[in-house]
Chains A and B, each alone.
Chain A
Amino acid sequence: MSPVNLGDLPSNQPAPTGLVQIKRGVVDGVLSLNNNNAAGTLIHDGTGAPMEIAITPNRPGWWLIRAETIVYTPDAIWTVAVWDVFITPNDADNVSQSIAYVPTHSAQSWQESCIDTAHRLNAATAYKAQIRWLGNGGWNNGFWTGGTYSYIMGEFLEDGSL
């Protein structure tokens, strides 16, 4: 990480204090997934558009990401919904994935789950971060697609002196 010194920053641009992205779900509804869906199926926003954010940084920096969603199962057995935040391409440390597990049972209602992660990004590379479903052992899951309960947000920061 090699941030630019204050004296070398261009005076005709804003100070590089950070960039923020957020993608919220759009249409209320349930995205149903089971073993007919491949591991890595993208969670969408209810319109079919993937829950994803993207950035192509001008300089190296850190991408702080938080994703939140709710999930349930109609199956009367304890199963585990597995989902992740997946970035492509791999970050500067060759890391791409952060995973969450959510035990579910039809006797329960919706369960909330969060992923917090951070990736070190290279300059001039087009990155995207997506929410994906990885499976639940052959059972069924429903993900809520509305923005009240589902989002992915990012904050890009250049390392500075503090």
Chain B
Amino acid sequence: MPTNLAALPSNKPIPNGKIQIKRGAEGSVDVANITPYGTKLSDGAGGFYEISYTPTYACYWVVRANVMAHQATGNVWQRWDYRINITPADADGVTSGITCPTELHTSLSWRTFASNARFRLNPGVAYTAFLTHQYSTGDWHRYHTNGLYTRLIGRIVGEGTL
């Protein structure tokens, strides 16, 4: 996968990394088992919690998410899953990075959840990593869209010698 130093172009930076971060705007969104699974998480500003990258070289993409949520209705324990996804499928055919079940109850306040995924990317392909609402046992779950609490972070890593 890595390119030897002498074969790298001298008129470009070394391929040591690229970072992307998505922070949303103030707000919250409710989802439930009547919300289609796979619905992208909103950024609170008309967009989505997603990041994109088109690599020049074959590389890995480490994607990290922090999501803050709580149970808005029901007064019973409920489960809500969110997922880190990639499209198109990565070089290993993977589209679902990780699915994260959360346990929520209206008696509790907000809670922050953290998750990580990594994908192997082909060069010259425009990839998007994004968060989705993926499962619900019922009632309404609420996630926060503010980047203070919910973030999606990508790190492109080129394998080298170390």
Contacts A116-B66, A118-B19, A162-B18 given: A98-B12 contact, CB under 8 Å? no
**Residues on A with beta carbons closer than 8 Å to the beta carbon of B4:** none
Whether A78 and B108, one on each chain, are in contact in the complex, defined by CB atoms closer than 8 angstroms, is yes
Chain B interface size band reads 35 or more
**Residues on A with beta carbons closer than 8 Å to the beta carbon of B14:** 3, 6, 9, 15-17, 160-161
Partner of A15, one of B16, B55, B59: B16
Min Cβ gap A39→B in Å is 14
A113 an interface residue at 8 Å Cβ cutoff? Answer: yes
Kindly specify which of B37-45, B90-98, B153-161 makes contact with the partner chain: B153-161
Whether A98 and B17, one on each chain, are in contact in the complex, defined by CB atoms closer than 8 angstroms, is no
Min Cβ gap A16→B in Å is 7
A28 an interface residue at 8 Å Cβ cutoff? Answer: no
Bound-state Cα–Cα, A66 to B15, Å = 23
Bound-state Cα–Cα, A18 to B109, Å = 38
Chain A residues with CB under 8 Å of chain B are 3-7, 9, 15-18, 62, 64, 66, 78-80, 95, 97-103, 113-118, 120, 157-162
